[in-house]
Structure 1
Amino acid sequence: MESKAVSQADRVALVTGAGSGIGRATANRLLDDGFRVVVAGRRMEPLAVLVEEARARGREALAVTVDVRDAASVEALFATIEATYGRLDVLFNNAGINAPAIPMDELDVAQWQNVIDTNVTGVFLCARAAFALMRRQSPQGGRIINNGSISAHAPRPFTAPYTASKHAVLGLTKSIALDGRAFNIVCSQIDIGNALTELSARMQKGVLQANGTVAPEPMVDARHVADAVGYIAGLPLSANVLNMTVMASNMPFVGRG
Structure 2
Amino acid sequence: MKGKVAVITGATSGFGKGTAEVLAARGVKVVISGRRKEPGENLVADIRAKGGEAMFTYADVNDEASVKALVNRAVEKYGRLDLAVNNAGISTEGAKIAESETARFQEMIQTNVLGVYFGMKYQIQQMLKNGGGSIVNLASIAGLNGIPYTGAYCATKHAVVGLTKAGALDYATQGIRINAVAPGAAKTDIIVKAITQGVYDEPSIAAMHPMARMGLPHEIVNGIVWLLSDEASFVTGHVLNVDGGFQAK
Q: In the TM superposition, what is the alpha-carbon distance from 1:237 to its structure 2 partner?
A: 7.4
SS at match of 2:74: helix
Root-mean-square deviation (Å)? 2.0
Q: Which residue of 1 aligns with 2:91?
A: 98
Q: Are 1:195 and 1:248, in contact at CA under 8 Å, matched by a contact in 2?
A: no
Q: In the TM superposition, what is the alpha-carbon distance from 1:107 to its structure 2 partner?
A: 2.3
SS at match of 2:62: coil
Greater share of helix: 2
- Distance, in Å, in 2 between the alignment partners of 1:26 and 1:237 is 16
Matched, 1:220 2:211: no
Q: Are 2:2 and 2:27, in contact at CA under 8 Å, matched by a contact in 1?
A: yes
- Distance, in Å, in 2 between the alignment partners of 1:79 and 1:59 is 21
Q: Which residue of 1 aligns with 2:118?
A: 125
Q: Are 2:142 and 2:153, in contact at CA under 8 Å, matched by a contact in 1?
A: yes
- Distance, in Å, in 2 between the alignment partners of 1:206 and 1:247 is 15
- Distance, in Å, in 1 between the alignment partners of 2:62 and 2:21 is 25
The residue correspondences of 1:182-201 to structure 2 (distance < 5 A) are 182-201=173-192
Equivalent AA in structure 1 for residue 74 of structure 2:
I
- Distance, in Å, in 1 between the alignment partners of 2:59 and 2:221 is 21
Equivalent AA in structure 2 for residue 94 of structure 1:
N
Q: Give aligned-pair identity as a percent.
A: 35
- Distance, in Å, in 2 between the alignment partners of 1:108 and 1:254 is 32
- Distance, in Å, in 1 between the alignment partners of 2:11 and 2:36 is 10
Residue of structure 2 aligned with 1:245, choices 238, 241, 244: 241
Matched, 1:172 2:163: yes
Q: Are 2:7 and 2:71, in contact at CA under 8 Å, matched by a contact in 1?
A: no
- Distance, in Å, in 2 between the alignment partners of 1:112 and 1:58 is 42
Q: For the structure 1 residues 175 and 253, does the alpha-carbon distance in structure 2 shift closer, same or farther, using more than 3 Å as the test? A: closer
- Distance, in Å, in 1 between the alignment partners of 2:15 and 2:146 is 21
Equivalent AA in structure 1 for residue 135 of structure 2:
I
SS at match of 2:234: coil
- Distance, in Å, in 1 between the alignment partners of 2:233 and 2:30 is 22
Q: Which residue of 1 aligns with 2:3?
A: 10
Q: In the TM superposition, what is the alpha-carbon distance from 1:238 to its structure 2 partner?
A: 4.1
Q: In the TM superposition, what is the alpha-carbon distance from 1:230 to its structure 2 partner?
A: 1.5
SS at match of 2:69: helix
Q: In the TM superposition, what is the alpha-carbon distance from 1:97 to its structure 2 partner?
A: 0.4
Q: Deviations over 1:160-194 (max 9, x none)?
A: 11100111111101111011123211111111001
TM-score (norm 2): 0.89
Spell out structure 1 runs of 4+ moving beyond 6 A.
Answer: none
SS at match of 1:168: helix
Equivalent AA in structure 2 for residue 153 of structure 1:
L
Matched, 1:86 2:104: no
Q: In the TM superposition, what is the alpha-carbon distance from 1:104 to its structure 2 partner?
A: 2.1
Q: Which residue of 2 aligns with 1:144?
A: 135
- Distance, in Å, in 1 between the alignment partners of 2:220 and 2:20 is 11
Tell me the matched-pair count. Answer: 238
TM-score (norm 1): 0.87
